[in-house]
Amino acid sequence: MSDRHIFSRGGAQRPRISHGRGSELFDVDGRRYLDAASGAIVVGIGHGVTEVVEAAAAQAGRVAYVHGSTFASEALEEYAEALAPLLPMDDPHLYPVSGGSEAVESALKMARSYHRARGEDRDVVIGRDGAYHGNTRGALDVSGRAGLRAPYLPWLDHARHTGTPYEYRCAFGEDHPHGCAGRHAQALEELITRIGPGRVAAFVAEPISGAGLGACVPPDDYWGAITEVCRQHGVLVVADEVMTGFGRTGTWFASDHWGLRPDLLVAGKGTASGYWPLGLAVASGPVHEVLSGSGFVHGYTYSHHVVGAATGLAVLRVLQREDLVRASARQGQRLHEALRRELGGVEAVGDVRGRGLLQAVELVSDRASKEPFERSERVTERLQQACRDRGVLVYPGSGCADGVRGDTLLLGPPLVVTDAEVEEMAAVVGDAAREVLGGSAA
């Protein structure tokens, strides 16, 4: 069998997958891999959960597809009723789509449509430097990843960007951490003022930065200050929970850590835990009320999918029954402590950070100055390969320091990860780091 007709996502030859269970994957040659990245921080409930597959199959056996504009469905209604109380929003209304990028595109259109329905022609969206919100055009425009945006810049000229709370490399220098949140809020307000009154529709941000900056947790007063600025200027707050939702950071949604109540929320990845391509754009009750009264010009062929809803509900039930959100908080703390212990003797490790089972290691050429490695050294890729050679899969990142330089390693195993697997992951990362970067065992 050959992959010569496949437009591959990577040039290197890859092993063929056979099966998975829990936090483990096995290729066709029987080699075991410990999935410390959940693929791309996707798999929350673990690999090989047959009850989820059976729920999807049962729904497909009854009816696999109907258009969302033609039929309502019990599957979607049941899912929405089960999920709504867990969302950090007032009277949430779900718009299911096929993934995170589609969810972001949908939320951007919701924000624009909301203001138009209220008689305001707001046309600008503000994102944050270093952020990633998806690879479709609108999502990429509001993203702040210079390397990903560069090939498509002629198409990306409408969104504006402000700073991101990045405690390890705080933009405010000597005054950090005092007044950090207030300064971010002031910078956002100044940007809104420069753009002009009544022009900014929405502010889009991850409550905790995902792959773009490597699990950066903001100061505790950040979201309160940011939300106050947005409310004062009539700007909708859009929480991107594609990577951080469904228990990943130790609460149902990362917004919960600070009581953030966004106007719009987007989710994906852990929504269906990789068992179905499912994303969500969620509108709060007040936003939905305006949109439903004026009509919302938008739609996808595979939105409101009945099998997707059945899959999402089955995943939700596993998360609840197995108490995996609490497990994420517990095992995330264990992983954080294990990484700090195992990497303590590696001078090239500048920071270990994160919340729950979203943890990151930032690598630097000089710990004192925080100088990043040159991109040509491909440090994170080499470390990823060294971990893979030892049977552990991790998620590499680059560009966190200045858009080009800045290497991170992200770990986000399934929420079912065991104590022994956490210790194994940390030990392998430590061994690999010493091989690639030098240093002694802690």
Which pLDDT score, from 0 to 100, does residue 440 have? 73
Q: For all residues of the chain together, what is the average pLDDT?
A: 96
Q: How confident is the model at residue 4 (pLDDT cuts 50, 70, 90)?
A: confident
pLDDT score for 92: 98
Q: What percent of the chain has pLDDT over 70?
A: 98
CATH class of the domain whose range is 17-48+323-437: alpha beta
For residue 204, the tally of other CB atoms under 10 A from its CB is: 27
Question: Domain spanning 51-321 has what CATH number?
Answer: 3.40.640.10
Q: Which of 406, 408, 379 is nearest to 394 (CA)?
A: 408
For residues 253-265, give the mean pLDDT. Answer: 98
The candidate with the shortest Cα–Cα distance to 112, out of 287, 293, 301, is 287
- Calculate mean pLDDT across residues 114-143: 97
pLDDT confidence of residue 197: 87
- Tell me the pTM: 0.97
Query: What is the predicted pLDDT for the residue at 178?
Result: 62
413, with CB counted inside 10 A (0-12, 13-18, 19+), is buried
Kindly list the domain boundaries of the chain, sorted by start residue: 17-48+323-437, 51-321
Span 42-56, average pLDDT: 98
Dihedral through CA 255, CA 92, CA 266, CA 327, nearest 10? 50
Kindly give the residue spans of alpha helices, DSSP state H, lying in 246-357: 285-294, 306-321, 324-342
